[in-house]
Amino acid sequence: MAVGFLLQWALGEATLLVPFALWPWGDFPVGTGADGLPLTVGFQPWQLVSYAFLHGGIGHLFFNGLALYQFGARIEYTFGQRRFAIYFFTCVIGAGLTQLAVNALMINAGASPFPTIGASGGVLGLLLAYGLLFPHERVMLLIPPIPMSARTLVIAFGVISLVLGVTGTAAGIAHFAHLGGMLFGWLLLRYWRGEPPFKKRRPPRPRLVR
């Protein structure tokens, strides 16, 4: 994430936002290119991953990086590196898919297209996993500095994101992407555990030694 932010600063936001931010489905004009032809933007498959490595400012990067370190380190130790990577990027992609669906509804309702950037959906997915794995662990919010259990923190973030997303409060923040990251993380955990709505995995059949 830090490398992506440094590239944004070095190359200019427009250079990276056009190809690598998460844009809605469709083609949307954003001006004229150097060749004089119309320049359009729109969704490309790689944007479901690349958007998470771009951020809207130092504060955005700092809080995502802090949460990734605070919650991700413990989860990586529990899951192992491979499963941790699968989980995190599933949450990132799930958040992106959710945001694409929300953007499509908003554009159909007359809103202007806009790009989405940031790893918050993946980070909220990690927070969900932390709350499920260590529900009684005490955590401390930075703003305001209030101690609470990890489970309470997860519920609070989920409710706040839902309320702000439905009411349209705090515009400019992809609240439904946060919820999408949490949802896809929850589904993946249940899949790994063989819990509904997924079938319970049967243990491997024993081999007969003859």
* Per-residue model confidence (pLDDT) at position 32: 63
* Per-residue model confidence (pLDDT) at position 9: 58
Q: What is the pTM of this model?
A: 0.85
Q: Where are the domains of the chain?
A: 57-193
d(CA 42, CA 149): 41
* Per-residue model confidence (pLDDT) at position 123: 94
- Token pair, residue 51, equals 């958007």
Of the CA atoms within 13 Å of residue 198, those in its CB half-sphere come to: 13
* Per-residue model confidence (pLDDT) at position 85: 96
d(CA 39, CA 33): 5
d(CA 14, CA 11): 8
* Per-residue model confidence (pLDDT) at position 63: 84
Q: Are 126 and 185 in contact (CB under 8 A)?
A: yes
Of the CA atoms within 13 Å of residue 123, those in its CB half-sphere come to: 20
pLDDT tens, the chain, 210 aa long:
556 656 655 656 666 777 888 999 888 776 665 556 567 788 999 999 999 988 877 877 888 888 888 899 999 999 999 999 999 999 999 999 999 999 999 888 888 888 899 899 999 999 999 999 999 999 877 667 888 899 999 999 999 999 998 887 777 788 999 999 999 999 999 999 988 888 776 666 665 565
d(CA 96, CA 46): 11
d(CA 36, CA 101): 32
* Per-residue model confidence (pLDDT) at position 210: 56
CB atoms within 10 A of CB 74: 17
* Per-residue model confidence (pLDDT) at position 155: 93
Name which of 121, 124, 112 is nearest 24 in CA terms.
112
Secondary structure (H, E, C), 50-93: HHHHCCCCHHHHHHHHHHHHHHHHHHHHHHCHHHHHHHHHHHHH
d(CA 19, CA 5): 15
* Per-residue model confidence (pLDDT) at position 209: 64
